[in-house]
Amino acid sequence: MGIRRDLATCAAAALAALFTANVAAQATIVTCESQNYRNEECRVGRGPVALVRQLSTPPGDCIEGRTWGFDPNNGTIWVTGGCRAEFRVGYGGANPRPSPVAGMTVICESQNYQNAECQVEGGPVALARQLSAPPGNCIEGRTWGFDAQRSTIWVSGGCRAEFRTGYGGAPARPIPGPATTVVCESQDYRNAECPVAGGPVALVRQLSTPPGDCIEGRTWGFNGGNNTIWVTNGCRAEFRTGQGGYAPRR
């Protein structure tokens, strides 16, 4: 009886260990990195694979299909261009594909100026940093937005940017940091304000056409009292924060 009991105990332990190993194999976290912006491969066996957390900083953004991907033919994650991230391997079945959690940064992009959507855990959502260049400006409500019903960020018109999800509560809504370029616009010739981290501010490039000229002190300026760029009378432009240019609103 004692031998049978021991054998049964060992068999149960072996099955439990095998089950744990299978679960671990189905859903493990792997770090793969492109050192010095070189191509690298990380063998993981079978997929599927999803990016969980980007560890690299720009310009080493991790963009699926461009700077990282999964090759099912040889069971490897490939990275390039400085991408370094944690990847979830085997999210199928009981482990659904993870979506970005609240309080993290997500890259969403409109490739070839086509409409695109990026699934996130939930809102609210704020643009943290524009990565695209004009004419692919990211303008909330026009070329990007958040669909709360479907928990998706949508982008169009070439907009490519980093978005902060779930900034409510502890993580406050991000505003553009110093020495960054911000698009501020007076829609339908109305007054508008754009919050920034601080001044001074300088106009880099006017995007509007006459009669919506951007004239410092008349149709645009910087209010140091509340750290906002103000625009009016149709002015629409790119402004550089953190360098010369100061005009309190009259």
Tally helices (H) and strands (E) across the chain.
1, 18
pLDDT tens readout for residues 48-91: 888 878 888 877 888 777 788 888 888 899 999 899 888 888 76
Q: Which residues pair with 77 in a beta bridge?
A: 42, 70
- The verdict on whether omega for the bond into residue 178 sits within 30 degrees of 0, i.e. cis, is no
φ, ψ for residue 192, nearest 5 deg? -150, 155
- The verdict on whether omega for the bond into residue 135 sits within 30 degrees of 0, i.e. cis, is yes
Contact, 132 vs 153, CB < 8 A?
A: no
pLDDT at residue 34 tops 90: yes
Rounded to two decimals, the pTM is 0.40
pLDDT tens readout for residues 188-229: 899 999 988 877 888 888 889 888 888 888 888 888 778 889
Per the prediction, the chain carries an average pLDDT of: 77
Q: What radius of gyration do the chain's Cα atoms show?
A: 24
Alpha carbon 184 to its chain centroid, in Å, reads: 21
Distances, alpha carbon 29 to alpha carbons 4, 18, 32, in Å: 39, 19, 10
